[in-house]
């Protein structure tokens, strides 16, 4: 049985769950599972995996329909701007996700309910929960309701472009054609509190190294540092 009453949240989200336990799983962080003696699969990580795929498809279609004459490069770059941690975290804050997140004590005390990574991952998990509860059309409806403005801004170039996409973009627009490679070189820590070390290269030239709490986070931090190095190394 679900711990929380989600009726207010469901109204804001635009979907009423038949199985509220599924929504609760979407709000369950790995630290909560670890501290309460539950199994790893009872956290929102598996749902996050599916939600990421559903969002890619639906947002990709939204951009495709809005820009029928644009090429694949534009579509890919624009989707990266819309389907990113920062965009998802902002939407999650608007919907008050932090109020419902189930976190371990340490994660809660360190401000975990307002961390971009936790909010973005939870948003992806909630989309997956809608998908499993009501099907693809229901998930699409929720995405259209909550991401249409984000997609519009992405299409018009009005929102933040994630650092990884920005690095890939400039590597193709400086008179060079460098192959940018992100490599996860190490990971450590328990499942609920992992850290990942990432390195990024332009062809075989090392650009930067960074550590994050997820592979996506590590890649973004690495790309942010690499942009400055790339500009100073390959400026023409």
The closest of 227, 224, 179 to 202, measured between CA atoms, is 179
Catalytic residue among 48, 85, 116, 124: 124
Per-residue burial over 169-186, b if 16 or more Cβ lie within 10 Å, else e, is bbbeeeeeebebebeeee
Q: Which residues have CB under 8 Å from 147's CB, separation 6+? A: 55, 59, 62, 82, 87, 91
Catalytic residue among 24, 48, 52, 85: 52
Rg (CA), the chain: 19
Answer yes or no: 195 catalytic.
no
Residue owning tokens 């994630």: 162
Helix runs in 101-193, H state only: 105-109, 116-134, 136-155, 163-170
Answer yes or no: 124 catalytic.
yes
Helix (H, G, I), strand (E, B) or coil at 163: helix
Cα distances (angstroms) measured from residue 198 to each of 50, 188, 220, 221: 24, 12, 9, 9
The closest of 227, 216, 187, 225 to 89, measured between CA atoms, is 216
**Positions marked catalytic:** 52, 124
């Amino acid at each position: 049985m679900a711990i929380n009453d989600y009726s207010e949240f469901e109204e804001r989200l635009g979907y009423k769950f038949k199985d509220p336990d599924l929504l609760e799983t979407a709000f369950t962080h790995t630290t909560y599972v670890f501290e309460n003696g539950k199994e790893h699969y009872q956290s929102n990580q598996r749902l996050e995996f599916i939600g990421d795929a559903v969002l890619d498809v639906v947002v990709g279609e939204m951009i495709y329909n809005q820009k029928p004459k644009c090429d694949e490069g534009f579509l890919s770059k624009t989707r990266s701007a819309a389907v990113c941690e920062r965009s998802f975290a902002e939407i999650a804050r608007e919907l008050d996700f932090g109020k419902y997140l189930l976190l371990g004590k340490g994660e809660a005390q360190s401000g975990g309910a307002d961390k971009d990574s936790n909010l973005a991952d939870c948003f992806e998990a909630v989309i997956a929960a809608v998908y499993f509860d009501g099907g693809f059309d229901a998930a699409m409806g929720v995405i259209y309701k909550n991401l249409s403005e984000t997609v519009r801004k992405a299409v018009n170039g009005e929102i933040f472009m994630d650092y990884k996409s920005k690095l890939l973009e400039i590597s193709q627009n400086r008179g060079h054609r460098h192959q940018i490679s992100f490599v996860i070189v190490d990971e450590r820590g328990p499942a609920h509190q992992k850290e990942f070390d990432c390195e990024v290269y332009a062809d075989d030239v090392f650009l930067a190294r960074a550590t994050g709490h997820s592979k996506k986070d590590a890649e973004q931090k690495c790309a942010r540092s690499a942009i400055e190095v790339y500009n100073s190394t390959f400026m023409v």
